[in-house]
Amino acid sequence: MKPAILVTREVFDDTLAFLAESCDVESNQTDLILAPDELALRAAGKEGILCCLTDAIDAKLLAAAPNLKAVANIAVGYNNIDVAACTARGVMVTNTPGVLDDSTADFAWALMMAAARRVAELDATIRAGKWTHWQLKQWMGIDVHGATLGIIGMGRIGQAIARRATGFDMPVLYCNRTQLPAVVEKRLNARWVSKGELLAQADFVVLQLPYSKETHHLIGAPELATMKPSAILVNTARGGVVDDEALIDALRSGRIRAAGLDVFEGEPRLNPGFLTLDNAVLAPHVASSTDATRARMAMTAAKNLVAALSGAVPPNLLNHDAIKT
């Protein structure tokens, strides 16, 4: 008998077909976000869940799904999952690292360039019919080439962002829990510094680190106050890493020049103050959203889930202790 699984959000047809080969699949192809009670109801009796970052996998859900053996998240981040609670119940948790590194790095650069050269403002101006003549001192932006790039969080995606800086002749400062090997630093033209030094010296500060209690509001009013007035902040990590209210104040007052943001506190709701700012480029958590990458993410999660339910150790297992429980 095939194990019963729940797919919480719409996925690709080939993903469902792959899962159906070895699982009894209940899928939510309507793509409506399931409320916690509805999610728990549908999870009851299931052995596996293929979920997204919109789904809270917590102790309450685990209590409603006593047969659950594995949760496969279609994301690299997993702050939507109580991993400790899953481990205590022997539920394996997986994510999708690696497959979205380059797409996310590309988008970090898209936000960086858009904020530096005021692309969103220019587009809105033309669409509104407000461009009437050319001027020498019109819509002045700042150069990206030759500027100092600061990256907080130098994992796979951070390093992919840094690699792209080579073509722009940008020295790279990075802040990370551990220093990279010297050969990697040389290849990336990168120097390991403290967060304070990075914030004070970087022209562009890119955040690419997981959200946790330790990184909550890692960038707040004190940190923004140490940045250059000409600096641009880019967040392609997670909402909550930045204190959004403090960032809005910094952008409104000119404390920093601009920001490019793909994530927000409490998303999809966001602080309405952002909507009043011309110097904030806003995107709806889409850094990994390309046809190829999102398809690979879904299939990677599906393979993780099938492996877990077949008795194998899934390739991207986050909580190895769950196997021993």
pLDDT single digits (tens) 171-217 = 999 999 999 999 999 999 999 999 999 999 999 999 999 999 999 99
What CATH number labels 4-97+291-324? 3.40.50.720
Give the residue-averaged pLDDT of 223-232.
98
Give the residue-averaged pLDDT of 22-31.
97
Whether residue 40 is predicted with pLDDT greater than 90 in this model: the reply is yes
List the beta strands (DSSP E) in the chain.
4-7, 24-27, 48-51, 70-73, 92-94, 149-152, 172-175, 190-192, 204-207, 232-235, 258-261, 280-282
Tokens of 23: 């699982």
pLDDT single digits (tens) 45-100 = 999 999 999 999 999 999 999 999 999 999 999 999 999 999 999 999 999 999 99
**Domain 101-282: CATH architecture, name and number where available:** 3-Layer(aba) Sandwich (3.40)
Supply the pLDDT for residue 325. Answer: 52
Dist. CA 279–CA 259, nearest whole Å: 7
Those residues whose C-beta lies under 8 Å from the C-beta of residue 287, and which sit 6 or more positions away, are: 100, 103, 104, 107, 108, 236, 262
Catalytic residue among 9, 42, 238, 257: 238
Tokens of 137: 């001192």
Supply the pLDDT for residue 138. Answer: 93
Contact of 169 with 224, CB cutoff 8 Å? no
Contact of 170 with 147, CB cutoff 8 Å? yes
Supply the pLDDT for residue 43. Answer: 97
What b-and-e string marks burial along 59-79, b requiring 16 or more CB atoms within 10 Å of the CB? eebbebbeebbbbbbbbbbbb
% of the chain with per-residue pLDDT over 70 = 100
Whether residue 324 is predicted with pLDDT greater than 80 in this model: the reply is no
pLDDT single digits (tens) 265-322 = 999 999 999 999 999 999 999 999 999 999 999 999 999 999 999 999 999 999 999 9
214 catalytic per annotation: no
Give the type of residue at 186.
K
Q: 93 - beta bridge partners?
A: 71
Q: Does 97 sit behind a cis peptide bond, omega within 30 degrees of 0 on the bond before it?
A: no
CA angle 94, 96, 99 (to 5 degrees): 160
Catalytic residue among 26, 185, 245, 267: 267
Contact of 75 with 53, CB cutoff 8 Å? yes
Question: Would 4-97+291-324 and 101-282 be classified into the same CATH topology?
Answer: yes
- Which segments of 79-214 does DSSP mark as H helices, in order? 83-88, 101-116, 119-127, 156-165, 182-188, 195-201
- Phi, psi angle pair for 60, to nearest 5°: -65, -45
Tokens of 316: 């991207």
pLDDT single digits (tens) 94-152 = 999 999 999 999 999 999 999 999 999 999 999 999 999 999 999 999 999 999 999 99
Supply the pLDDT for residue 157. Answer: 97
**Taking the chain, what is the end-to-end CA distance rounded to the nearest angstrom?**
24
Q: Taking phi first (over 0 means left), then psi (-120 to 50 degrees means alpha), and beta for anything else, what does residue 139 get?
A: left
pTM score above 0.85: yes
Dist. CA 48–CA 311, nearest whole Å: 12
133 catalytic per annotation: no
| 23 HSE (CA, 13 A, CB side) | 27
**Domain ranges for the chain:** 4-97+291-324, 101-282
285 catalytic per annotation: yes
